[in-house]
Amino acid sequence: MMRLAEQTVAELPGRDLVEQFLYHEALILDEKRWEDWMALFTDDGTYWIPTADDQTDPDTRASIMYDDRTMMQMRVRRLRHPEVHAQTPASRTTHLVTNIIVAPSPDGDGDIDVSACFTMLEYRIEEQTIYGGRYRYRLAVDGDDLAIRNKTVHLVNCDAAHQLMAIYL
Amino acid sequence: MHANDDLQNLVRPDRVHRRLYVDREIFDLEMARIFGRMWVFVAHESQVPEPNDYITTRIGKQPLLITRGRDGEVNVMFNRCGHRGVKLCATPEGNSPGFRCPYHGWNYRANGKLAGIPYRDGFSDDFLKDPSLDLARPARVDSYRGFIFVSLSPDGLSLDDHLGPIKASIDDLCDRAPDGEILAQAGCNRYIVRANWKLQMDNGVDLYHAPFAHHSTLDEDGRQFSRHGGGPSFYKPGTRNPVDFDPMGVHGFANGHGYQGAVPQVPDPDGMAFKELRAMLVERHGEDRTREILTYDRFNSMVYPNLTFQAMGQHLRMVLPIDVDRTEVRIYPVLFKGAPDEWNRFAVRSVAATHSPASMIQTDDVAIFERAQEGLNAEGSDWVMFARHMGAEMPNNTGGLGAPGSSEFVLRQQYNDVWLKYMSA
């Protein structure tokens, strides 16, 4: 039997809970409820799309996105602006989230690490684009409440030349 | 192919024909005559800092391999095996003492010399002495303060003459580093614009698009988020009216280069390790020169045909045409060598917000370039206008011409004096 970590899987928040949390997040993104999405993060929560597979630091190598709460607020305010040309017309998306693996945070602080595969279909101006890769989350746990401390999006084509990406993956 | 007089008809003093952006024959001619003749920016030496470091890139459609040899010299070579033409190195960057062709195992040293051929007994001695078996090199390679340029033509201006007074913009960027050098060692952001390469370059000295194209990133006071706390301000105080761009000035030089004057901004001298950086510069240059260096009097600088950069936004932008309606753009965050760690870290993070493919500023430009490409298919009106402040340009004090900030003279000069000259047979 595969031993996942010191802490047994039984002690972790139920897989169903985590699954529902990720599905809920995916729906919120698809419905462009950006303010609700921000509320899923802790106050010091961050969102990151690196440009390299093995990148560990957003400040020593270029990133596609690195948003703390201040930047999220700025980005969301912009997405609500009537003249955001990169979203005129707006994208329609479907997020698919799967292969969810839950493990305790190695820091032993009660947080959990979640890994999940995703694809996002985006349709905008006569063209459908597929993004895919792996989400890695650090989630804070408080009873049945989960909050995102960090979400990192590892795109399989992280170092590619991308078309404009105006929304969160 | 276009006869010279046909090309002449496409460029007028205040406008160019839409075919410059949508006609594939013209694009092919540009690859041969602009990217095939002019000095083209290909890399910064800091991308290959150590012996045997290499990167791969391209000039026009041609693959390049850039290495630092064991002797410390930078080599710019075509990335193509001397045997059957297979692209020798397939990875974007790395460190290797040599390269082995995957097809028949021919081996090359980092400096491009042929080091060995398997089963060499089947080749004559004369054949093996043929220098064309080594990796071929572009006709001319030269650099200025680490910026490597390539010309595929053996004839033409020296790099020094080609750059001319725009060298002062490169100096302005590099001199901000306490050690006087910039480093392009923080990877890069790459994006695709489904539009002609010139739409990106035309934007390089365009001051007055900001309050409209980037309306969604301006706050109530018209300030655009930026590093150094303050950031450029695009509205008149207390109003939603754009500031007057004209006092900022725009400057153009021979060979198509130019720069935008300083946009009004509120500096934040207490933030972002600024004091520490400043102290380092004072130690090296003294108070007066430091004040001079740190003054932001050049916003975006443009080196024709494929490089723009910002001293304040701390990045280089390289434009790589792919097809008449498709362009790759690379944004390299710029590190100041010797600067406080915190300073450089903030610069890298700030580029993610402003110039990545998901950034809040660049995405609006890309959306607009793509709309321009679509709009330019309309045959109802044939001209792209660059008529603003016609004739207002006057000799400036930096070796070229200066004009009110919203003038489009740099593009008029670029198309009439440079584009047409190089494109003509």
Per-residue pLDDT tens for B81-96?
Answer: 999 999 999 999 999 9
Which CATH number goes with the domain that contains A42? 3.10.450.50
CA A35-A41-A42 angle, 5° bins:
130
Q: Which residues contact residue B327 at a Cβ distance below 8 angstroms, ignoring those fewer than 6 apart?
A: B192, B193, B195, B196, B197, B199, B200, B319, B320, B321
Of the candidates A166, A151, A158, the one whose C-alpha atom is nearest the C-alpha of residue A47 is A151
Q: Flag whether residue A45 sits within 8 Å of chain B, measured between CB atoms.
A: no
Kindly state the average pLDDT of the residues B196-224: 85
Q: Return the C-alpha torsion angle B327, B333, B336, B337, nearest 10.
A: -90
Kind and range of the H or E element at A21?
helix A15-30
Q: Would you say residue A166 lies in a domain?
A: no
Percent of chain B with pLDDT over 70: 94
The alpha carbon of B377 is separated from its chain's Cα centroid by a whole number of angstroms, namely: 27
Per CB-CB distance under 8 Å, the chain B contacts of A78 are 216-217, 360
CB A118 within 8 Å of CB A83: no
Please check whether residue A165 lies inside any domain of the structure. no
Q: What is the Cα–Cα distance from B174 to B337, expressed in whole angstroms?
A: 9
What whole-number distance in Å separates Cα of residue B137 and Cα of residue B79?
9
Query: Which fold, B164-423?
Result: Naphthalene 1,2-dioxygenase Alpha Subunit; Chain A, domain 1 (3.90.380)
Which token pair is B210? 């900001």
**Per-residue pLDDT at B227:** 43
Residue of B219, B328, B349, B370 to mutate, testing the A interface (most A Cβ within 10 Å of its Cβ): B349
Interface A–B counts its CB contacts (< 8 A) at 105
- Expressed as residue numbers, the domain containing A16 is 9-155
Whole-number Cα distances in Å, A53 to A133, A156, B10: 11, 8, 46
CATH of domain B44-144: 2.102.10.10
Q: Is the pLDDT of residue B271 over 90?
A: no
Interchain contact, A65 vs B366, CB within 8 Å = no
Q: Where are the domains of chain B?
A: 44-144, 164-423
Q: Do domains B44-144 and B164-423 have the same CATH topology?
A: no
The C-alpha atoms of residue A26 and residue A121 are separated, in whole angstroms, by 12
The reported pTM is 0.94
Task: Check whether B311 has a pLDDT greater than 60.
Answer: yes
Nearest to A59 among B92, B345, B356 (CB): B345
Query: Is A73 an 8 Å CB contact of chain B?
Result: no
Provide mean pLDDT across the span B112-133: 92
* Domains of chain A: total: 1
What pLDDT shows up at residue A8? 53
Tokens describing residue B369: 């370039």
Residue A1 lies in a domain: no
Assigned domain for A4 exists: no
Per-residue pLDDT tens digits for B324-354: 999 999 999 999 999 999 999 999 999 999 9
- The residue of chain B nearest to residue A65, with distances taken between CA atoms, is B352
Instruction: State the ipTM, two decimals.
Output: 0.93
Q: Per-residue pLDDT averaged across A98-119, rounded?
A: 94
Task: With a cut of 60, say whether residue B374 has pLDDT above it.
Answer: yes
* Pairwise CA distance, residues B18 & B176, whole Å: 40
Residue B321 touches partner A, C-beta closer than 8 Å: no
Check A62 against B331: CB less than 8 A apart. yes
Which of A54, A60, A129 is the best mutation test for B, with the most CBs of B within 10 A? A60
The answer to whether residue A53 neighbours chain B at the CB level (below 8 Å) is: no
Report whether pLDDT(B225) > 80.
no
In the predicted structure, residue A4 carries a pLDDT above the cut 80: no
**Which stretches does DSSP call E strand in chain A?**
41-50, 63-67, 92-104, 112-124, 127-142, 145-155
